[in-house]
Amino acid sequence: MDALYIILTSSLFAIACGLLGCFLVLRKMAMVGDAISHAVLPGIVIAFLFTGTRDSFEMIIGAGLLGIFSTFLIEFFHKRAKLQTDASIGVTFTSLFALGVILISVFAGQVDLDQECVLYGEIAYVPIDLWITDSGTNLGPRALYISSITLILIILFIRIGFKQLYITTFDPAFAATTGVSVALWNYLLMGSVSMTTVAAFDSVGAILVVALMVAPPATAYLLTDNFKKMLLITSIIAIVISILGYYLAVMLDGSIAGAVVTVAGIIFGIVYLFSPSNGILFKRMAQKREAKNLAQKTA
Q: Please check whether residue 174 lies inside any domain of the structure.
A: yes
Task: Give the per-residue pLDDT at 240.
Answer: 95
Q: Please check whether residue 130 lies inside any domain of the structure.
A: no
Pick 185 or 121 by higher pLDDT: 185
Q: What sign does the CA torsion over 15, 17, 18, 23 have?
A: positive
CA of 3: how far to CAs of 10, 127, 205, 256, in Å? 11, 8, 19, 11
Rg (CA), the chain: 21
Q: Please check whether residue 195 lies inside any domain of the structure.
A: yes
Task: Give the per-residue pLDDT at 215.
Answer: 92
Please write the tens of the pLDDT for every residue from 54-100: 655 666 677 777 777 887 888 788 777 777 777 888 888 888 888 88
Q: Please check whether residue 131 lies inside any domain of the structure.
A: no
Top-confidence range, 129-133, 185-189, 219-223: 219-223
Q: Please check whether residue 253 lies inside any domain of the structure.
A: yes
What is the rounded distance in angstroms from the CA atom of residue 158 to the CA atom of residue 241?
23
Task: Give the per-residue pLDDT at 31.
Answer: 75
The count of structural domains within the chain is 1
Q: What is the mean pLDDT of residues 130-156?
A: 84
pLDDT at 246 over 70: yes
pLDDT at 198 over 80: no
Q: What is the mean pLDDT of residues 256-272?
A: 89
Q: Which long-range contacts (CB under 8 A, 24 or more apart) does 107-115 make?
A: 107/45, 107/48, 107/49, 110/49, 110/52, 111/45, 111/48, 111/49, 111/52, 112/48, 112/53, 112/54, 113/44, 113/45, 113/48, 113/54
Q: What is the mean pLDDT of residues 266-279?
A: 85
Q: Please check whether residue 129 lies inside any domain of the structure.
A: no
Q: What is the mean pLDDT of residues 95-124?
A: 68
Pick 35 or 24 by higher pLDDT: 24
Task: Give the per-residue pLDDT at 55.
Answer: 57
Task: Give the per-residue pLDDT at 179.
Answer: 87
Task: Quote the domain boundaries for residue 267.
Answer: 2-122+137-298
**Mean pLDDT score across all residues of the chain:** 81
What is the rounded distance in angstroms from the CA atom of residue 150 to the CA atom of residue 30?
20
Which of the residue ranges 46-60, 67-81, 228-242 would you say has the lowest mean pLDDT? 46-60
Q: Please check whether residue 76 lies inside any domain of the structure.
A: yes
For the chain, what percent of residues have pLDDT higher than 70?
85
Q: Please check whether residue 128 lies inside any domain of the structure.
A: no
CATH number at residue 25: 1.10.3470.10
pLDDT at 164 over 80: yes
Q: What is the mean pLDDT of residues 15-24?
A: 93
